[in-house]
Amino acid sequence: MYFRRTVRLCFLLVAFTLGLGHSSLALAQFVIYTSTDQEYAEVILREAQTALAQKPVAVFDAESSKTVGLERRLVAEKSKPKADLFWNSEFLRTYRLDKRGVLAPTAVDKSFGVPTSVTTRYSVGVGARCRIIAVHTPSLKEADRPRRVEDLADPRFKGKLAVSNPLFSATSTHFAALHAKWGDAKFIAFLQALKKNQIAILPGNADVRDAVAAGRVAVGLTDTDDALGAIKRGLPLAIVFPDQDGDGAFGFYGTVSLVKGGPNPAGAQKLLEYLVSEKNERRLIELGAVQFSVRPDGPQAKEFGSKRPKLWFMDPAQIDKSLEPSITLIRKHLL
């Protein structure tokens, strides 16, 4: 019930923001479900509306159930879709939706320059982020900061840690990837160490960033977009890209997909091509929604300089196999 009320409220809020009053929702040319942060998505969709002379109406998800809520909604509406397009802030739930037959095949011209590794028959990649360790600079000298995700299990960080709920959003994808990489035994030991370290479980990645920036905790596991936003505001927070001497920081990219049986596939296809264009990807980086291009020679956030950190990407099929087992273990050993 809470989920339905939340999504309904978000739908009406976005309709009002775009100046589409309730009576005109039926006239909207297509509907887009998106887990991209609302502050960024609204800017992009306003610009798309001007460029395409169409009216995309957005439905957002609650921060606490980011991506998972929209996945459930799309599955529930499968027999009678209300959305035309799904713009996801990550890729795992997109993969799962395709397995459920929710998404329609799509194609983007090669001139878009999106690599085949992030382009499939059901989605096109756009913009990448990665999981980082955020550090409260007054609390930890550089030499004392964690350098690997596994360092969060170190007892010296007891009572000083925070992470967003690992059952949702990019955190769930990250933890599932860790389970796929490590196996049961090492993953369980990591969860038990986090619990012993009294890690704070917060609603979202932005909450983790805020807790670190305010000094309520010294270390937090979060995303580049959230952490970089704090740095741009001059808050005492530093970014550590973990595991640079190993596989690298866990990376994930956004996806855009057509919804199978959506009311307006032609309009949705035009918006899809707009969203995955190099021009729009640069705009997303400029706004701070993402920090890296999915294109091999594409840009990254200027705050990171010219050298790209080592990023670790995992096949979503491998992560998907570990999602449910990792959730079971998280409930048992951490939550």
pLDDT of 62:
65
Would you tell me how many other CB atoms lie within 10 Å of the CB of residue 73?
Answer: 18
The percent of residues above 90 in pLDDT, for the chain, comes to 74
Over the stretch 146-169, which tens digit does the pLDDT of each residue have?
999 999 999 999 999 999 999 988
Report how far residue 168's alpha carbon sits from residue 213's, in angstroms, rounded to the nearest whole number: 22
pLDDT of 3:
42
Q: What is the mean pLDDT of the chain?
A: 88
pLDDT at 327 over 90: yes
What number is the average pLDDT over the span 247-265?
A: 94
What number is the average pLDDT over the span 86-101?
A: 92
Third-level CATH fold of 2-128+253-305: D-Maltodextrin-Binding Protein; domain 2 (3.40.190)
317's tokens? 């099929």
pLDDT of 169:
80
Among the ranges given (51-65, 204-218, 221-235, 238-252), the one the predictor scored with the smallest mean pLDDT: 51-65
Over the stretch 102-115, which tens digit does the pLDDT of each residue have?
999 987 877 778 88
Q: What is the DSSP letter of 107?
A: -
What is the helix (H) or strand (E) element at residue 332, kind and residue range? helix 316-333
What number is the average pLDDT over the span 280-307?
A: 92
Vertex 260: Cα angle to 258 and 266 (nearest 5): 55
Domain ranges of the chain: 2-128+253-305, 129-250+314-333
Among the ranges given (184-193, 214-223, 311-320), the one the predictor scored with the smallest mean pLDDT: 311-320
Report how far residue 60's alpha carbon sits from residue 87's, in angstroms, rounded to the nearest whole number: 10
Are 193 and 334 a contacting pair, CB within 8 Å?
A: no
pLDDT of 2:
43
Are 319 and 92 a contacting pair, CB within 8 Å?
A: yes
Vertex 241: Cα angle to 293 and 221 (nearest 5): 105
CA 19 to chain centre: 27
Q: Do domains 2-128+253-305 and 129-250+314-333 have the same CATH topology?
A: yes
pLDDT at 265 over 80: yes
pLDDT at 15 over 60: no
Confidence label for 65 from pLDDT (cuts 50, 70 and 90)? low
DSSP states of 7-63: HHHHHHHHHHHTT--GGGGGG-SEEEEE-S-HHHHHHHHHHHHHHHT--EEEEE--G
Confidence label for 196 from pLDDT (cuts 50, 70 and 90)? very high
Of 118 and 81, the structure prediction assigns the larger pLDDT to: 81
pLDDT at 88 over 90: yes
pLDDT of 139:
96
Calculate the alpha carbon distances from 108 to 51, 299, 329 in Å.
Answer: 18, 20, 39
Third-level CATH fold of 129-250+314-333: D-Maltodextrin-Binding Protein; domain 2 (3.40.190)
Of 131 and 8, the structure prediction assigns the larger pLDDT to: 131
Over the stretch 20-62, which tens digit does the pLDDT of each residue have?
333 334 434 689 999 998 999 999 999 999 998 888 899 987 6
What is the helix (H) or strand (E) element at residue 330, kind and residue range? helix 316-333
What number is the average pLDDT over the span 215-241?
A: 96
Q: What is the DSSP letter of 221?
A: E
pLDDT at 18 over 80: no
